[in-house]
Amino acid sequence: MVGDQPGCPIIRISPYELHINDPSFYEKLYRQDGRWDKYDWCMKAFGAKSAMLHTVGHYSHKRRRAALNPFFSKVKVANSQFIIQGAVEKLCNRLRGFSATEVVPLGSAISALTRDVSAEFLFGMSFNHLDDEDFNSGILAMHQNGGKIWRVTKHQKMMKITKDIYANELKSANKVTTDDSHKKHTLVHEILRSDLPPADKTLEHLYDDVVTISSAGFETSAHVMRAVLYYVYKNPDILNRLREELAAASQKAIGSGEAELNLTALEQLPYLTGVLMEGLRLGMPVSSRLARVAPDRELVYDKWHIPPGTPVGMTMLLLNHNEDLYPDHKRFVPERWMGPTVRKNADKTFAPFNRGTRSCLGQQ
């Protein structure tokens, strides 16, 4: 019997699905080898059945994801740093325009930043929400309330994604797929110019891919950034140490003839890395269960043999607050990530972007 004892790490959360709370099982469930499907019942709740992110079957997902991997490669991201730098500069100029007595809607501002950056990267055109007087705060409210609705949509197929705002981009992209001189290299062009079969390039597929991929990067990124800012500014010691590290790195870059810090240089800063990883731990992009299905083999956890086709999930929320893994787990402690041994051990359990064949496409 599953979960028949208090504190049992494996429980049945529905007639069909199991949940496991044991860090040692994470790398066994979320892995690259083998066939892994998503849970069909859960994916239907998003109302975007044609999206690559919601593709249930292992092989269909593998084919469709392979076509998009180059667009989200680290090289592509590194070459797009100017998009982030331009948006951050615009945000800083907006913030300088607030008087000393005004309340700054920083939460909405950060959301506007991630939306504009993501839109420019994906579509070659910004939403320009950073230019809106209130940073288009209504979008933030919609995303945050969506988390409450999610409890219902998993049971009732009532969530339908509005697609009209993407229509012009998709239609214009469809006309230039064979024009190599076209300056834009957008997500839509990547799909249409790929080797995917025509069935994966229909307007419905494009709609669902564009909406889900862009939405997945909007509020998740903003949430982590807000968490980092909150904890850093709440603790003056952390703030001062971070500023000192960044200032020293900036001076070093200037001395080397660089106009500004680039991504490669920032990735070498140990304290900044610790701050970001701790921000990902406490402000995790996704905290809900991510069920996986092994359709062709049984899974074994301790004394339990789980039949093929059984949805099994874990959640980063419980892993990231596991006291054995992270002592004093509620505290924001960047130093916990600064030792090479700690980082190496964390590779087995720390996965803010998930792991395995279904890990986050845009984690770079």
**Res. 162: pLDDT tops 60:** no
% pLDDT > 90, the chain = 59
Q: What is the pLDDT of residue 147?
A: 61
353 has pLDDT over 80:
yes
Range from 70-74, 139-143, 282-286, 300-304 carrying the lowest mean pLDDT: 139-143
pLDDT at 174 (0 to 100): 53
DSSP code of residue 310: -
Contact partners, residue 105, CB within 8 Å, separation at least 6 = 134, 135, 137
**Banded pLDDT at 181 (limits 50, 70, 90):** very low
Burial 335-358 (b: 16+ CB within 10 A, else e): ebbeeeeebeebeebbbbbbbbbb
Q: Tell me, what's the pLDDT at 175?
A: 53
> From CA 126, how far away is CA 118, in angstroms rounded?
8
Has 360 been labeled as part of a binding site? yes
Report, as an integer, the average pLDDT of 257-267: 85
- Share in percent of the chain as helix, strand, coil (round to 5): 55, 5, 40
- What is the model's pLDDT at position 177? 47
- Out of 227-231, 261-265, 346-350, pick the least confident: 346-350
For the stretch 130-158, pLDDT in tens is 999 999 888 777 777 666 665 555 555 43
Max mean pLDDT among 38-52, 321-335, 337-351 falls in: 321-335
- What pLDDT score was predicted for residue 149? 60
Average pLDDT of span 182-201: 85
pLDDT for residue 247: 95
Least confident interval from 96-100, 149-153, 169-173: 169-173
Q: Calculate the average pLDDT of the chain.
A: 86
The string of DSSP codes covering 149-202 is HHHHHTTS-------GGGHHHHHHHHHSTT-TT-S---HHHHHHTSS--GGGSS
Residue percentage of the chain with pLDDT more than 70: 87
